[in-house]
Amino acid sequence: MAGEALDPHEVAALRALLDRQAIVDCVNRYARGVDRDDAELIGSAYHPDAVEDHGAFIGGVDDLVPFLAMAHRPFDGYQRFVTNFSIDVAESGDEAHAESYYLCILRRDEKGKLLANGGRYVDRLAKRDGEWRIARRVVVMEWEGTIEGGAPRFDLNVPARRDRDDVSYQRPLEVVRENRSPM
């Protein structure tokens, strides 16, 4: 049915889907930014006047980024997984509240242990100049613990980097085996 116009209900449903995906993308930018130690990417998830309650830290994004870098300094590897998004966009279309669950695994190589914690990101987001970003965030930690024995090193795998030299930033992605021999 080429050329057929969408009815108002379909337009509203499409707008809701686009807003929801933009909010999920925003929360995921934060997670990727923290895992890659990418201050610019972390900052892109927040409005400049955003405020976050991160437990030991309460403040704005300009102070949040160095706090996160300091908190992650003792670890040589970390990943966060963000799931179970619940998103309510206000009728105005420019404010939303979201809750997402996270699982964070951190590795301290010299200790042979993994630290794990899980909780929720509770966010108020605002759409300004057509872009969804976090305006307020409360991090709710549900649990934490350690996993004994840690994880083995995978010397033949591409090593993770905590900067923009990580393979995930490579455009276009190339498969190159440098200084690693196949099994």
Query: What SS3 class is residue 4?
Result: coil
* CA gap 20, 88 in Å, rounded: 9
For residue 169, tell me if it sits in a domain: no
Listed range (74-88, 125-139, 161-175) with the worst mean pLDDT: 161-175
Q: Is the pLDDT of residue 17 over 90?
A: yes
| Domain assignment present for 183 | no
Residue 73 domain-assigned? yes
What gap in Å lies between CA 63 and CA 40, rounded to an integer? Answer: 13
User: Which two tokens mark 89?
Assistant: 């966009």
Question: Of 8-17, 58-67, 108-117, 149-158, which range is least confident?
Answer: 149-158
In a domain, 158, yes or no: no
Question: How much is the pLDDT for 113?
Answer: 79
Residue 93 pLDDT > 90:
yes
User: Is a pLDDT exceeding 90 seen at residue 164?
Assistant: no
Does the residue 25 lie in any domain?
yes
How many domains are there within the chain?
A: 1
**What is residue 178's predicted lDDT score, i.e. its pLDDT?**
64
Residue with tokens 């307020």: 136
Q: Is residue 2 included in any domain, yes or no?
A: no
Write the single-letter amino acid at 42. Answer: I
Asked whether residue 168 is domain-assigned, the answer is: no
How, if at all, do strands 131-148 and 113-128 pair? antiparallel
Residue 128 lies in a domain: yes
Question: Domain holding 39: CATH number?
Answer: 3.10.450.50
Tell me the pLDDT band of 181, cut-offs 50, 70 and 90: low
Give the integer Cα–Cα distance in Å for 70 and 53. 16
Q: Structural domain of residue 68, as residue ranges?
A: 8-152
